[in-house]
């Protein structure tokens, strides 16, 4: 496979803020939405080059809260992030778009398909959820408390906890793979910034939206990762059951970072879906 030349970051003034984005390839527009605390370039490891080679125009961006996009440290809402994505699609002038999101990005994608169906040709949600749970709320409170109390975990422990929560036990059972992942996660370190703290606030009071998702009328794909500890796979399955006519696919031997752990399987499912949307 020929790997595309990395696209240079651009900026757009949309919805009252600055969004940093990259735009690569030619063909039907695919806009990719990343999860909490992560930049859009995470998609560049596997998904962006594969989709470009498959004949799509792929736009990735840094959500508000993630520099160099506006951090908006005073806080914002899910509606703001949905409006950002809508405004970016309008700015690109090539909508409606195929929209792909993971984790928080998947929630944004669902809400966008509901609020602005005119901008969405099809929606693919990875590792998603439609409601909170006591465990999710407890982890979210803990993350906010560590930030607010300026608690920083030792690097090795942070890497171990992150790997345990986001990778499949099958991945971590291989010692060499586990060491590689621990090194990668430890090198990156925890993402601590006012913008990331503002993103964490989104998880304080999350409504149960499953009944509302019955109103999504665009082609939809929901992908669950079988070994996801962060957002257990039954939460993704619930979203797939709520959206009328949604296609549900489950990727085995994959945790919350399944798009990085099992990129070939994830990419094939995405390409099959994106090509099927009229």
Listed residue (247, 252, 253) closest to 125, CA to CA? 247
Give the containing element (helix H, strand E) for 193: none
Q: Is residue 140 annotated as part of the catalytic site, yes or no?
A: no
C-alpha–C-alpha distance, residues 112 and 138, integer Å: 27
The active-site residue, picked from 23, 62, 227, 228, is 228
Decide: 61 and 186 in contact? Cβ < 8 Å: no
Q: CB-based contacts of 210: which residues, under 8 Å, 6+ apart?
A: 130, 131, 238, 239, 242
Q: What stretches of 149-211 show up as alpha helix (H) in DSSP? A: 155-166, 169-172, 175-188, 194-201
Decide: 122 and 218 in contact? Cβ < 8 Å: yes
Q: Give the 3-state secondary structure of residue 9.
A: coil
Q: Is residue 132 annotated as part of the catalytic site, yes or no?
A: no
The active-site residue, picked from 38, 103, 140, 168, is 103
Q: Is residue 44 annotated as part of the catalytic site, yes or no?
A: no
Give the containing element (helix H, strand E) for 124: strand 120-126
Token pair for 168: 């499949």
Residues labelled as active-site residues:
103, 228, 256
């Amino acid at each position: 496979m020929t790997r595309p030349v990395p696209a240079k970051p651009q900026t757009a003034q949309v919805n009252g803020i600055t969004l940093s984005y990259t735009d690569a390839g030619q063909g039907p527009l695919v806009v990719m939405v990343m999860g909490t605390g992560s930049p859009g370039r995470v998609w560049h490891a596997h998904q962006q080059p594969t989709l470009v080679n498959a004949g799509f125009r792929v736009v990735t961006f840094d959500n508000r809260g993630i520099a160099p996009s506006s951090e908006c440290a005073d806080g914002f809402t899910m509606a703001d992030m949905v409006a950002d994505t809508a405004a970016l699609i309008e700015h690109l002038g090539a909508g409606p778009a195929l929209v792909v999101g993971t984790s928080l990005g998947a929630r944004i994608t669902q809400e966008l398909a509901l609020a602005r169906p005119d901008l969405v040709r099809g929606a693919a949600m990875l590792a998603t959820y439609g409601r909170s749970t006591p465990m999710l709320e407890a982890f979210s409170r803990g993350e906010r408390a560590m930030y607010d109390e300026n608690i920083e975990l030792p690097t090795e422990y942070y890497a171990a906890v992150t790997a345990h929560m986001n990778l499949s036990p099958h991945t971590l059972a291989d010692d060499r793979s586990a060491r590689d992942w621990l090194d990668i996660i430890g090198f990156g370190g925890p993402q601590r910034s006012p913008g990331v703290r503002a993103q964490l606030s989104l998880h304080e009071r999350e409504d149960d939206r499953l009944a509302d998702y019955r109103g999504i009328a665009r082609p939809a794909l929901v992908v669950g990762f079988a070994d996801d500890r962060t957002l257990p796979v039954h939460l993704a399955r619930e979203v797939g059951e709520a959206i009328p006519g949604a296609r549900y696919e489950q990727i085995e031997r994959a945790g919350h970072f399944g798009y990085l752990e099992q990129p070939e399987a994830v990419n094939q499912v995405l390409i099959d879906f994106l090509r099927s949307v009229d």
